[in-house]
């Protein structure tokens, strides 16, 4: 281990399960690192919906993960474990972590770090890991999306949704999206969705059928669940794939299995956080090879809705809960020097 991090830092604690006000800045020991880890001086940390669930006591950190919330950071490496050979002190990285991101320093498995892409600020880089790892593994690995195919993305204006629209389009798919207001629908279309469907006023199954000349889409990326499951199966084409990544309207659904058999559908899904560092490392390598060059060319860019100082993490949670955002909300550690584009 090298570098000289301090012994103590500010981190955001969850005082007790509850509303956003339970988040408060507190002094916290700087985390130690294992042989395969790096210690990052955090410049910015992404805020994600799973953080809200953790704050409410509905999504406890997996065994061994820190209690401090925060699943992604960007910053500068200040210490390197003996087996974390790919990184040096001073490297600018973004990292997927199992917790601990809402803090001035964060430990991360070296394999889960990626270089800050050229042309992006640290704030933009902090918005990448959680949604890019999730979309890559679910849409491209599990869902096998190919150029020339069609995809329907629910929650198109969310952090995950904006990433799925951008990546789907960058890889040559035609993307449809759903969102809850005309403004959010317009944002999805600006990002590259061929059409965005206001699910409060229009039936997405009917619109998708009309847009695809009756065949349906090849892939549905769904975070809604509940009554959407049966409708997603209706919206899929022959050999279509339904990829479930959350269930905002409930985990249970009664479905008609006939379309699964008639259209030879695949229903799959996954959750990122409990996967092993080795599995997350494999996703990181795939992103570095296939996606980072597209970010550096400017084909794909994270959508930042707002930045909020780390100490005011409760405001960031209230903002995400209000649900008016398009893209990501990012916490910024204020006393760190500014973060020019690399
Ligand atoms: N499986 C995984 O590995 C994984 C990883 C990361 C995140 N996730 C999940 O993915 C989801 C999105 O995460 P995020 O951080 O991108 O969250 P986010 O930005 O807060 O987005 C949530 C979205 O859900 C939509 N929504 C909420 N309630 C809805 C409902 N009843 N019907 C239809 N749409 C609804 C909202 O859109 P409207 O305002 O348009 O309704 C909003 O765009 C979360 O549920 C999260 O837990 C899963």
pLDDT digits (tens, 9 = 90+) for 233-251: 999 999 999 999 999 999 9
Beta bridge partners of 243: 221, 268
| Six-digit token string for 324 | 């008016």
The model carries a pTM of 0.96
Closest CA to 37 of 70, 103, 104, 86: 86
Q: Is the per-residue pLDDT at 268 higher than 90?
A: yes
Residue of 47, 159, 248 best suited for mutating to test ligand 1, as the one with most atoms within 8 Å of CB: 248
Supply the residue whose CA is at minimum distance from atom 2 of ligand 1.
271
Q: Determine whether the shortest distance from the Cβ of 155 to ligand 1 is under 6 A.
A: yes
305, 191 Cβ separation under 8 angstroms: no
Q: How far is the CA of 296 from the centre of ligand 1 (A)?
A: 27
Query: What is the arithmetic mean of pLDDT over 250-258?
Result: 96
Mean pLDDT of the chain: 96
| pLDDT at residue 4, rounded to an integer | 80
| pLDDT at residue 271, rounded to an integer | 95
| Atom in ligand 1 nearest the alpha carbon of residue 131 | 6
Q: Is the per-residue pLDDT at 199 higher than 50?
A: yes
252, 226 Cβ separation under 8 angstroms: yes
259, 71 Cβ separation under 8 angstroms: no
| pLDDT at residue 52, rounded to an integer | 98
Lowest-confidence pick of 61-70, 128-137, 309-318? 61-70
Q: How far is CA 141 from the centre of its chain?
A: 16
């Amino acid at each position: 281990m090298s570098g000289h991090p301090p012994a103590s830092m500010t981190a955001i604690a969850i005082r007790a399960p509850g509303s956003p006000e339970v988040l408060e800045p507190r002094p916290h020991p700087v985390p130690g690192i294992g042989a395969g880890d790096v210690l990052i001086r955090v410049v910015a940390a992404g805020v994600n919906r799973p953080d809200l669930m953790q704050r409410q006591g509905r999504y406890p950190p997996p065994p061994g993960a820190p209690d401090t919330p925060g699943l992604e950071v960007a910053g500068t490496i200040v210490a390197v474990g003996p087996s974390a050979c790919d990184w040096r002190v001073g490297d600018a990285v973004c990292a997927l972590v199992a917790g601990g991101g809402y803090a001035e320093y964060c430990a991360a498995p070296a394999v889960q770090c990626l270089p800050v892409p050229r042309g992006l600020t640290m704030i933009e880089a902090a918005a990448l890991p959680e949604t890019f790892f999730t979309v890559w593994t679910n849409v491209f690995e599990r869902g096998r999306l190919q150029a020339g195919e069609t995809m329907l993305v629910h929650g198109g204006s969310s952090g995950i949704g904006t990433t799925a629209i951008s990546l789907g389009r960058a890889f040559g798919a035609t993307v449809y999206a759903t969102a809850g207001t005309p403004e959010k629908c317009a944002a999805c279309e600006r990002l590259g969705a061929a059409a965005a469907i206001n699910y409060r006023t229009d039936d997405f199954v009917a619109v998708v059928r009309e847009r695809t000349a009756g065949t349906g889409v090849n892939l549905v990326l769904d975070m809604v669940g509940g009554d959407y499951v049966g409708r997603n199966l209706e919206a899929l084409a022959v050999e279509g794939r339904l990829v479930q990544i959350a269930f905002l309207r409930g985990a249970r659904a009664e479905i008609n299995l006939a379309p699964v058999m008639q259209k030879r559908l695949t229903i799959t899904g996954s959750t990122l956080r409990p996967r092993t560092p080795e599995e997350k490392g494999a996703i990181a390598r795939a992103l570095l090879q296939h996606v980072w060059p597209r970010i550096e060319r400017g084909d794909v860019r994270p959508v930042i809705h707002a930045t909020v100082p780390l100490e005011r993490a409760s405001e960031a949670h209230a903002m995400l809960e209000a649900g008016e955002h398009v893209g990501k909300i990012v916490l910024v550690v204020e006393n760190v020097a500014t973060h020019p584009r690399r």
